[in-house]
Amino acid sequence: MDEKVEIFEVGPRDGLQNEARPIPTADKIALVDCLSKAGFARIEVASFVSPKWVPQMADSGEVLAGITRAPGVRYAALTPNIKGLERAIAARADEVAIFGSASEGFSRANINASIAESLERFGPVAEAARKVGLPVRGYISCVSDCPYDGPTDPAQVAQVAARLDAMGCYEISLGDTIGQATPERIGAMLDAVLEVVPAVRLAGHFHDTGGRALENIEASLARGLRVFDAAVGGLGGCPYAPGAAGNVATEAVLDRLEALGFEPGLDRDVVLSGAAMARAMRAG
Ligand code: HMG
Ligand code: MG
């Protein structure tokens, strides 16, 4: 088959943001520099959120300043509001992401806003980013289950996706934030979202709490998705999603995609070195 599928590496951001122990900036830079040699086109390395909310990401500017940028790699950052966007521009992020939720409970816990308020806040962020030529990605959390509200209605995911699409997000990443989804429920959610956004502008973002992330990726592949977020070493979790385990491990996604005949275009040895580094950072 040899069809291209992209793994979007989110380890330096989603993988590390939840670590309670402060990780030295130099270690984060070393991890990104390693991952830059693996063949990823995009690596999420920074999060310009409130340092009071997520202290681990407070050094995002220093990380972006310290890395050795590889040609052809875009270094991405989360930007919840205009202040975050200004910090991302100052740090020379190559693309930014706005991040909302399909469930009210998580939206309030994670970004202190209702879904409607968050979408109002994101509009000007997306517009300002476009003005300076920065591509904007959109995330939707809790596309299957919410730690506060329970199961999510697929129609609600589709509504938020349509709004992010209308704001000009070049891609929308659909997050199973607490890793409870099943392939059947991911299929039903995607059927609703695909009514409003085509598969070429969607990505899957699976946490692996329930151990079914790889199956959920396969259900997404069957519906035409070709981009998947993953974190080396399977690190991760969201501080505002109690019980959420790590992102699906990049090395596991790589193996599964290759077994299915897809071509992720990554150097496995480098990915495994990155995974070892990431795990060592967690262990302290
Ligand atoms: P708020 O408290 O409502 O914000 O937080 P505010 O505008 O009222 O400001 C309060 C203080 O924060 C002020 O400082 C602001 O200056 C400061 P003070 O005057 O008190 O000293 N502030 C900032 N500082 C630096 N950078 C900023 C910024 N914005 C405000 N950008 C806010 C609202 C959105 C900022 C807050 O809730 C927040 O930072 N939330 C982020 C939570 C987060 O990072 N969660 C994890 C990422 S999402 C995720 O992991 C899910 C994902 O992986 C997909 C999936 O798995 O589902 C993407
Ligand atoms: Mg996540």
Count the neighbouring beta carbons within 10 Å of the beta carbon of residue 280. 12
Nearest-atom index, ligand 1, CA of 85: 31
Q: Which residue's alpha carbon is at the smallest distance from atom 36 of ligand 1?
A: 111
Nearest-atom index, ligand 1, CA of 142: 57
Output the pTM of the full model.
Answer: 0.97
Share of the chain above pLDDT 70, in %: 98
Which value does ipTM take for this structure? Answer: 0.98
**Distance between Cα 131 and ligand 1 center (Å):** 23
Per-residue confidence (pLDDT) for residue 247, from 0 to 100 = 95
- Alpha-carbon span 155 to 169, nearest angstrom: 19
Judged on CB neighbours under 10 Å (0-12, 13-18, 19+), 132 is exposed
The vertex-140 CA angle with 116 and 62, nearest 5°, equals 105
Q: Which of 50, 121, 122, 229 to mutate to test the pocket of ligand 1 (most atoms within 8 A of CB)?
A: 50
Per-residue confidence (pLDDT) for residue 243, from 0 to 100 = 66
Residue 284 predicted with pLDDT over 80: no
Q: Which ligand is nearest to the CA of 47?
A: 1
The vertex-135 CA angle with 22 and 233, nearest 5°, equals 35
Q: Is 205 in the pocket of ligand 1 (CB under 6 A)?
A: yes
The pLDDT of 135-151, averaged and rounded, is 98
Residue 99 predicted with pLDDT over 70: yes
Which active-site residues does the annotation give?
Answer: 238
- What is the per-residue pLDDT across 20-56, written as a single tens digit (0 to 9) for each? 889 999 999 999 999 999 999 999 999 999 999 999 9
Q: Is 144 in the pocket of ligand 1 (CB under 6 A)?
A: no
Per-residue confidence (pLDDT) for residue 240, from 0 to 100 = 78
Residue with tokens 């899957």: 204
Q: Which residue's alpha carbon is at the smallest distance from atom 50 of ligand 1?
A: 238
**Distance between Cα 83 and ligand 1 center (Å):** 9
- What is the per-residue pLDDT across 211-236, written as a single tens digit (0 to 9) for each? 999 999 999 999 999 999 999 999 88
**Distance between Cα 79 and ligand 1 center (Å):** 9
Q: Which ligand is nearest to the CA of 101?
A: 1
**Distance between Cα 138 and ligand 2 center (Å):** 12
Q: Which residue's alpha carbon is at the smallest distance from atom 49 of ligand 1?
A: 238
Q: Is 86 in the pocket of ligand 1 (CB under 6 A)?
A: no
- Radius of gyration for the chain, computed over Cα atoms and rounded to the nearest angstrom: 17
pLDDT grade for 281, boundaries at 50, 70 and 90: confident
